[in-house]
Structure 1
Amino acid sequence: MKNSLQIVAEPVKVVAPKKSLWIDAWKRLKKQRSAMIGLTIVLFFILLGVFAQFLTSHPYDGFNTDKILISPNSEHWFGTDDQGRDIFSRILYGARISLWIGFFSVIGSIIVGCYLGLIAGFYGKWVDTIISRMFDIMLAFPSILLAIAIVAVLGPSLFNALIAIAIINVPTYGRLIRSRVLSVKEEEYIMSSKSIGMSNSRILFQHILPNCMTPIIVQGTLGIATAILEAAALGFLGLGAQPGEPEWGKMLSDSRQFLTVAPWTLLFPGFAIMLTVVGFNMFGDGLRDALDPKTK
C-alpha cells in the first residue's frame, strides 16, 4: 500500500496596515459637527489676527475727536469708541493679543507642569509629596485671585499677565500628567527598559511622556479658552493690557460707562470673547472624544 502525502494549503492571512492614531482621530473628529464648527471659529479668529492689517482701513490707535461714539455704519462697521477709534480694527488687532496670551500661557503651563508631573509620578516618595503639596497649595486659592497677586508683584503689563496665567495653570497639567505617569510606569515595556540599564531621563522623555500627551493636548485646547477669559479679566481690572492696547478685556473696561448711550462699544468686544471661548471649548470637547480609545 503506497503512502500518499496530502498537502493542505493554508489561507494566506492579509495583515492590514496599521493606521496612525492621529489619522484615525482626525477621521472621527471630522464626523463631529460641533467640533468642526469650533475649529472653524478658531481658525477664523486666527486668520483675522494674522491678516488684521490687510482687513482694516483704519488704524486701531487712530484718535479722532470728530467721530466719538459713532454708531456702526458703512465706514466704521462696529462704530467708534469714546476716543474716536475704530472698534472693528481694535477687535481684529485684539484677536492677536488674546490668542497670543492664550497659546503661549498654555505652552508655558504645559512645559513646567509636565516636567514637575513627570518627576513626581516617576520618582514618587518625598519628591512626589513635595510637588503634590505645592500643587495643592496653589489650587487652594481661586485662580483669578492668585493671578491678581502675581501681577501685583510683577507689575501690570500684558507679558506679566501671560506669566501669571501660565503659573496658575501649572497644577492642572502637573496633576494630570502625574496620574498618567503612575499608571504608565508600571507597564512591562518600562520595566524592560529599566532592566537593560536605560537611563531614567531617556525612559521619561522617550517612553513615558509620549504616552501621556493625549490628555495634555485635549486639556491644553480647553485651557486656551480659560486663558483668554483670564486675560480678559485681568485686562478689565487694569492689570493686563495698558491704555491704548487693543485687548478685548481692556476694551470692555474702558466702555462700561457707555453701556446705555453706546452699547456697541461693549457688545462687539464681549461677543468676540464669547465666540472665541465657545470655539475652543467646542473643538476641545470634540478632540477629547476623537482621541478617546473607547470611541474606536
Structure 2
Amino acid sequence: MAELVKNTANITTVNVEEELTPPWKEAWQSFCKNKLALVGLGIVIFFILLAFIAPSVAPYSSTDQNLVERLQAPSGKHWFGTDDFGRDIFSRILYGARISLWVGFFSVLGSVILGTLLGIVAGYYGRWVDAIISRCFDIMLAFPSILLAIAVVAILGPSLQNALIAIAIINIPNFGRLVRSKVLSVKQEEYIMAARAVGMKDTRILFRHILPNSISPVIVQATLAIATAIIEAAALGFLGLGAQAPTPEWGKMLSDSKQYLVQAPWTLFFPGIAIMLTVLGFNLMGDGLRDVLDPKMKQ
C-alpha cells in the first residue's frame, strides 16, 4: 500500500510539473526539435557575433585603399582577395554585416511598431477607421515593393538612412493586415466582451488583452521580414540608392564589382555568399518559429 501511494505521489508530481511548464520553455523545446531551425539560429548568431567583433577581427580597415594590391586573388594575406581599390574584401564583409543587420533589424522594428498600431486600431474600431486604414494598405500593396522603395528613396535622396526608412515604409502594410485579421477574431472572445461590460478603457483592452494574444504571428513575420529587408537593402545599394561609397554595404560591394565578374569573380562571390547565408539563416529560423507559434502548424 505504501509503495502504491508513493507511485501515485510521483505521478502526481510529474503531472504538476508538466502543467507548470512555462509557455516559453515549451516553445523553446519545440523549437529545438527542428534541426533546420537550429541551423538557421546558428547562422544568425554567427553573423551577429561577426558584426559585434568586426573591429577586433578584421585584419584591415574597411575603407583604406591600396592601389598596388588591387584585384588580388584570395591568399594568406587577403583571405577573400581585394577589390578594385585594393581594399581587403574580408574586412569589408565583416563591417558590412553590421550595416546589413542594422538595416534589417531597425527597418523591421519600425514596420512592426507602425503596422501593429495601425492594424490593431483598424481591427478593433472597424467601420470608417478600418476602411481608411485598409484602403491605404491596399494602395501600398498595389505597387511592387522594390519599386515603392525606389520611389521613396528618390524623394528622400539616396543614402543608407533613407533606404532604411523606405524599407520600413513598404513593410508596414504586411504587419498591419496581419495584426488586423488577428484582432478581428480576438475581439470577439468572451473575455474581451466581459472587459467591455465592466467599463475597461479601450487602451487597456488593446494593449493588455488583445495585443498579447495577437503578437505570435507578428514575431514570425518579423523574423522573415528581416531577411527580406536585407535583400531589399542590398538591392537599393546595388542600384546606387542605398549606402554610398566607401561604406562597405554588401549590395554596394556587388554593384562596384559587377564589371570585374570575369577578371576578379571573388569580388562578387563573397559578398553574394554573405547575403545568401544571412537570408537563409533568418528564413530557416522564421520557419521554425512559425511551426512553434502558429496553432495551425501545431495541429
Larger radius of gyration between Structure 1 and Structure 2: 1
Q: TM-score, normalised by structure 2?
A: 0.94
Q: CA deviation at 1:18?
A: 2.6
> Which residue in the other structure is 1:282 paired with?
284
Structure 2, unaligned stretches of length 5 or more?
1-7
Of all paired residues, the percent bearing the same amino acid is: 65
* Residue in structure 1 matched with residue 175 of structure 2 by the alignment: 173
> Aligned partners of 1:32 and 1:72: how far apart in 2?
36
Matches of residues 24-35 of structure 1 in structure 2 within 5 Å?
24-35=26-37
**Cα distance in 1, alignment partners of residues 231 and 43 from structure 2:** 16
Normalising by structure 1, what TM-score? 0.95
Q: Which among 41, 44, 56 is matched to residue 42 of structure 1?
A: 44
Q: What pairs up with 1:212-231 in 2 under 5 angstroms?
A: 212-231=214-233
The residue number in structure 2 matching 1:121 is: 123
3-state SS in 1 of match to 2:98: helix
Aligned to 1:3: none
Correspondence for 1:20 among 22, 32, 57: 22
Partner residue of 1:258? 260
Partner residue of 1:97 out of 96, 99, 105: 99
Write the letter of the residue equivalent to 2:60. Answer: H
2:140 matched to which residue of 1?
A: 138
Aligned equivalent of 1:241, options 228, 240, 243: 243
* Aligned AA (2:218): I
Q: For residue 269 of structure 1, what is the aligned residue in structure 2? A: 271
**C-alpha deviation, 1:215, in angstroms:** 0.2
Per-residue deviation, 1:172: 0.1
Question: In the comparison of the two structures, how many residue pairs are matched?
Answer: 286
The runs of 5 or more residues in structure 1 that have no matched partner are 1-10
- For residues 20 and 136 of structure 1, the distance between their equivalents in structure 2, rounded to whole angstroms, comes to 39
Structure 1 position 211, deviation (Å): 0.3
Q: How far off is 1:293 after superposition?
A: 2.9
> Which position in structure 2 is the counterpart of 1:209?
211
Q: How does 1:55-94 map to 2 (within 5 A)?
A: 55-94=57-96
One-letter amino acid of the structure 1 residue matched with residue 178 of structure 2? L
**CA displacement at 1:19 relative to structure 2:** 2.2
The residue type paired with residue 130 of structure 2 is D
1:200 to 181, 199, 202: 202
Q: Shift in Å at residue 21 of structure 1? A: 1.9
Pairwise CA distance, 1:65:
1.1
Separation in structure 2 between the aligned mates of residue 57 and residue 116 of structure 1, nearest angstrom: 46
C-alpha deviation, 1:291, in angstroms: 1.5
Tell me what 1:8 maps to: none
Residue equivalent to 2:3: none
The alpha-carbon deviation at position 23 of structure 1 amounts to 1.1
1:290 Cα deviation (Å)?
1.4
CA deviation after TM superposition for structure 1 residue 20, in Å: 2.1
Q: Which amino acid aligns with 1:123?
A: Y
SS in 2 for 1:71: coil
**Partner of 1:47: helix, strand, or coil?**
helix
Letter matched to residue 101 of structure 2: L
Deviations 1:256-278 (A, max 9, x none): 00000000000000000001000
Is the helix fraction higher in 1 or 2? 2
Question: AA paired with 1:266?
Answer: L
Partner residue in 1 for 2:294: 292
Q: Render the CA deviation track for 1:81-133: whole Å, top value 9, x for unaligned.
A: 00000000000000000000000000000000000000100000000000000
Instruction: Give the letter aligned to residue 199 of structure 1.
Output: K
AA in 2 matched with 1:187? E
